Amino acid sequence: MSLGLTAVSADAQSIIFNSDIGARNIALSSADVSEFHDISSLYQNPAAMVFLKAPSVFINHVQGNYDEMQENIASTIIYDRSQMLALGAEFYNLGELNRSQTYQGYRFYEMGYQLAYARLLESTFSVGGTVSFHRGIVIQSNAADAASYSLGVEYAPTGEVSYALALNGLGTGLDYETKNGVVSTVQAILPRKLDIGATMRFPAETSLETPFLYIALASEKVFGITGINYKVGIEFLPFEFIALRFGYASGSSLNRPTWGLGFHAAPFSFDFAVYPVRVNGSGIDFEQMSASLEF
């Protein structure tokens, strides 16, 4: 799982962790856990990577309205149709564009990298895992390290439907807290999440037509929190090179709409998404922009 840091409130004393990396993913409300769209699968369900038709490189930018920024880059390292090895890196910072907006006078940032591997056990079934390492630094205070893990299973019996199960949040992440007026970074226990999802594509593969409609459904169990989150995402392609996306998640610990756009001209894709994040009862708007290039 990516330990992407995606929200800071002016009144908050911590950064909100989020594995929703990739504009298409977040536009579909992360219901596409079973979809193999690009190499960004390593952040949500690494088992899906091996079903990609070609190796690729992926770049992602997250921007919040409190001057938060996160950059991700990921690329295929090994790809031979039966297995895939991918490497990712990320950098998060607050107020680097405008240093007057640092939190309580402190400047801090975080960097990390991911190593993901997926392998086909059969032509329609794969397993995969991702290991993430992070280092957080508060320039005037301290530094801390963390490591987390994720596991995934993917089953794609036909071109019209695929299923997945992904477990994220194993290990530790980083948090930022204020104590006696001093901001510092510390290790934190991540919320463990189990996602089960399915993606359907229309029309059927037997029609020999390019799919123009994707429907993604997923249920998410956050351990330690009563109830289940339900997610749905819909992608409609009025033209082969343009995608319109909508998503909604609702449940015990998640309630938000998402939307986005996508443009595709092989071998290049560009995606954009907008979504709200709730921090301390207030809403923060975030944007993600992703670019992917097959090679």
Over the stretch 4-35, which tens digit does the pLDDT of each residue have?
A: 333 333 333 334 445 589 999 999 999 999 99
Give the list of residues 6+ apart from residue 46 with CB closer than 8 angstroms, or none: 86, 116, 117, 118, 128, 129, 130, 150, 151, 152
DSSP-assigned beta bridge partners for residue 2: none
Confidence band for 94, pLDDT divided at 50, 70 and 90: low
Tell me, yes or no, whether 260 lies in a domain. Answer: no
β pairing state of 242-251 and 255-265? antiparallel
Confidence band for 109, pLDDT divided at 50, 70 and 90: confident
| Residue 2: closest CA among 147, 185, 117 | 147
Question: Which residue range is the domain that position 147 belongs to?
Answer: 5-190+271-294
Look at residue 282 in the predicted model and tell me its pLDDT: 62
Tell me, yes or no, whether 210 lies in a domain. Answer: no
Question: Does the predicted model carry a pTM greater than 0.75?
Answer: yes
| Residue 186: closest CA among 176, 197, 199 | 176
Give 190-235 pLDDT, tens digit per residue.
889 999 999 999 987 666 678 899 999 999 999 999 999 999 999 9
DSSP-assigned beta bridge partners for residue 211: none
Phi-psi region of 171 (alpha: psi -120 to 50; beta: other; left: phi over 0): left
Tell me, yes or no, whether 177 lies in a domain. Answer: yes
Tell me, yes or no, whether 134 lies in a domain. Answer: yes
Tell me, yes or no, whether 282 lies in a domain. Answer: yes
Biggest CA–CA distance in the chain, Å, is 66
Cβ 165 vs Cβ 195: under 8 Å? yes
Query: Which residue bears the tokens 């992602």?
Result: 60
Look at residue 1 in the predicted model and tell me its pLDDT: 29
Tell me, yes or no, whether 244 lies in a domain. Answer: no
Look at residue 87 in the predicted model and tell me its pLDDT: 97
CA distance 163 to 186: 36
Tell me, yes or no, whether 276 lies in a domain. Answer: yes
CA distance 94 to 72: 15
Tell me, yes or no, whether 112 lies in a domain. Answer: yes
Q: Which helix (H) or strand (E) holds 26?
A: helix 23-27
Q: How many domains does the chain have?
A: 1
Backbone angles phi and psi of 241, in degrees to 5? -105, 0
Q: State the amino acid at position 171 in one-letter form.
A: G
CATH of the domain at 19: 2.40.160
Give the DSSP letter of residue 273.
E
State both tokens at 80: 């031979």
